[in-house]
Chains A and B, each alone.
Chain A
Amino acid sequence: MFFASVRLTVYTLVILAVTSIIGTVILQNGSPQQYVNLYGQGLYNLIQVLQIDDMYHAWWYLLLLLLLCINIVVCSVERLSKTWKIIFPDKIKVNPKRFLSAKNKESFETEKDLEPLCAEYEALLSKRIGKVIRQEAEGSVVLYAEKGRWTRLGVYVVHASVILLLAGALIGALFGFKASLRLDEGETADTVFDSKTRMPIKLPFAIQCNEFEVRFYDTGAPEEFRSNLTVIEGGQESFTRDIRVNQPLRYKGINVFQSSYGTASPNEAVFQITDNITQDVITQTIKKGQAVDLPGNMGTFKFEGFLPHFDFRGHNLGEAFFGRMTLAEGKNFQIGLPTKFPTFDKMRKGRFTVVVKDFDQAYYTGLQVTKDPGVWYVYAGFIFMIVGCWVTFFISHQSVCIGLETSMSNAGSTSGPVRVWVAGKANRNAHGMTLKIRKLATILKDI
């Protein structure tokens, strides 16, 4: 049957490995313009048809994952139905012949009597391996013990974990979301916007940003980003907490992560306006949108707003205030006041020069807001995968057989030395078994 072949598994894994490279080389989730610039219109058409701009969610990639899942399920069911009898036998059958040909077989002779020797070996075997099965024939005894039969199930646990992981990812994709939220200090919001679709999503509570703080090391590298958030439910403050990178807020199935920050526009600032002819100076705090009279009632200056990146003749001068000067003679024009260059407005060489004297630096915090009801399935898958791999690769189904033989005398009684052999079988790690048998043989000799 097609789906039951391991060859299919290998081919699927090879195709998955090879195609996964594409998304690490070709830009993912870019804008149409970016693709046309990078690869040209012709290739962009191909990229669109094969959804290579979001290839890990493309129909053909998901189809490959589905194929892998079907393959895993069919293979596992088929194999498990065959090995079920081996893993859960009605009665364990001992076949000493299987051990006689084992490569790790060790033999020796001893002068001790058969019966006491058997008793000691049996005690040792049951202590080291497990319950002993004893078979007797004329003049010979076979002792058999085994452990770890259940470990044959490990591989099915690993395969089930893959299914569980993908199921968890599917649940997350269907019922979860990933959104971003920008909050100025002091601002409150209960609606976030999906990162991909930009659709608004209403949260079961509102988030208020009380404060954002960024700290730097003396090397200039960032040390900590911290937002102080208050959760508000039904108009009531529920609780207040700090979040940092690696310390998110998790509440009612919603996770809030610190992801970025920036400077928010200040609502007021202290401006100094100088009349360069009369040398009159006024210094005044102006609120955003508010206008003040220029010295000598020669017109007005209005504080219009704040730009994070002020573009001046193609140069980015950074954060800047901007305002509008309306002169009594009728002229009116906009001026920019970059905070990094306090004397910038002087270079305009106008009659009035405006300088920003002081303002409270305000920040906004960029939050990532997610909901993922599938994450617990994924985590369960993680645990199953680790445990399953451990059991499959490092614990094996081991069986040990000890044979004791005496030469029969004519009279039917036992006599002479007892010949002892010991051998083991394991479904994994044959070398480990060999070492174990070697060690066991030296112990048996000393008894």
Chain B
Amino acid sequence: MNSSLLLSAATFIYALASVFYIGSFSFKKQVLAKLGFWVIVIGFIANTSGILLRWMESYQMGYGHAPFSNMYESLVFFSWTVAALYIFVEIKYRESIIGVFVSPLIFLAIAYASFDPSISSKISPLIPALKSNWLIAHVITCFLGYAGFALAFGFSFIYFVKPRDPNATSIFAKLPDWEIIDELTYQMIVFGFLFLTIGIITGSVWANSAWGKYWSWDPKETWSLITWFIYAIFLHLRLMRGWHGAKLALVSIFGFFCVLFTYFGVNYLLSGLHSYG
């Protein structure tokens, strides 16, 4: 048993969960969604053990570092945070149908990590710049923020598919009440915003201890700030200007594209200090 095997297993289990959720949605069978939830929980357990095992393997190889040091590890961790947050939300709100919009995201992130040939899954030693206790705090908080925004992104789609007519019979009519969707999207963005804020701050403090500058307008930093601006705009529009519904959902969707660009675009298209993921 090694970590790659466990993480591949997690990928397939998450794929199965997506199938159950989408099936439950298409065939209007609540029981499939319940099944999907338990499958996600199993996938999450495999994902968790995979990450922990990889951490141990890095110690056995003599490198000894937390598995947050390259694109592969960060994608695996991204899936983990989204799954963790989703499980929490489903338990708290008892609305399993929303998993339709989230489970594919969890699957896609970890699948991308495994199947893109340019992403190496090798455990490599830590470069000097990453040797810091801030690594763990910075990565965990940033990815919790990303996870919040990812869930908000999934929920925002509901605004465009759910019929306004309460008596409609389409498959989208089964989706939760507007009030709950609104509340959920907002809660996820607030959660994401708090953790993105802490993520940027921990990164900033770390940069100050590694390079002597808490902010150097590196593309990754700048894009995280742009993302922060977008969600700050979202919060002001909602709380102060009374925006809601589809208009606001568009802002949340746009915000998530900024998250994706901060995460991937900066690494592939721009150059800077964050070449490792």
Contact = CB atoms under 8 A, between A and B. Distances in A.
Given A23-B222, A257-B211, A390-B194, 13 more contacts: A6-B241, A9-B240, A16-B229, A17-B229, A217-B125, A224-B128, A244-B131, A246-B128, A255-B212, A368-B212, A372-B214, A382-B204, A389-B194
A16 B229 CA distance: 8
B226 interface: yes
A417 interface: no
A17 B201 CA distance: 18
Interface stretch (B23-31, B162-170, B230-238): B230-238
Contacts of A278: none
Contacts of B240: 6, 9
A385 B222 contact: no
| B contact face: mostly helix, strand, loop, or mixed | helix
Contacts of B198: 386
Nearest to B134: A246
A160 to B, nearest CB: 15
A160 B233 CA distance: 17
A37 interface: no
Interface residues on B, range: 35 or more
A379 interface: yes
A178 B236 contact: no
B213 interface: yes
A246 B132 contact: yes
A219 B211 contact: no
B228 to A, nearest CB: 9
A162 B183 CA distance: 27
Interface string A1-22: 0000011011001101100110
B197 A385 contact: yes
B214 A375 contact: yes
Contacts of B125: 217, 219, 221, 223
The 7 closest A-B pairs by CB, nearest first: A17-B229, A245-B128, A370-B212, A24-B219, A6-B240, A246-B132, A257-B212
A47 interface: no
Nearest to A429: B187
A25 interface: yes
B197 A169 contact: no
Given A17-B226, A20-B226, A379 B211 contact: no
A344 to B, nearest CB: 33
A209 to B, nearest CB: 17
Interface string B104-141: 00000000000000000000110111011000000000
B211 A259 contact: yes
B213 A245 contact: no
B9 interface: no
Nearest to A18: B226
Contacts of B270: 24-25
A222 B129 CA distance: 10
Contacts of B213: 178, 370
Interface of A: 6-7, 9-10, 13-14, 16-17, 20-21, 23-25, 28, 56, 169, 178, 217, 219, 221-225, 244-246, 248, 255, 257, 259, 368-370, 372, 375, 378-379, 382, 385-386, 389-390, 393-394, 429-431
Contact of A6 (B179, B205, B219, B236): B236
B71 to A, nearest CB: 16
Contact of A246 (B131, B190, B204): B131
Given A221-B124, A368-B211, A24 B223 contact: yes
B246 interface: no
Given A14-B233, A24-B270, A375-B214, A431 B124 contact: no
Contact of A386 (B201, B215, B230): B201
B275 interface: no
B212 A178 contact: yes
8 contacts: A10-B236, A13-B236, A21-B226, A245-B129, A245-B210, A246-B209, A386-B201, A394-B190
| A contact face: mostly helix, strand, loop, or mixed | helix
Interface of B: 63, 93, 124-125, 127-129, 131-132, 179-180, 183, 187, 190, 193-194, 197-198, 201, 204-205, 208-215, 217, 219, 222-223, 225-226, 229-230, 232-233, 236-237, 240-241, 266, 270
A20 B225 contact: yes
A83 B40 CA distance: 46
Contacts of B197: 385-386, 389
A10 B237 CA distance: 8
A385 B241 contact: no
A222 B219 contact: no
Contacts of A178: 212-213
Nearest to A29: B217
Contact of B194 (A10, A248, A393): A393
Given A17-B226, A385-B201, A429-B187, A246 B129 contact: yes
B194 A222 contact: no
Contact of A248 (B93, B190, B209, B225): B209
A28 B217 CA distance: 9
B21 to A, nearest CB: 22
Contact of A17 (B63, B193, B230): B230
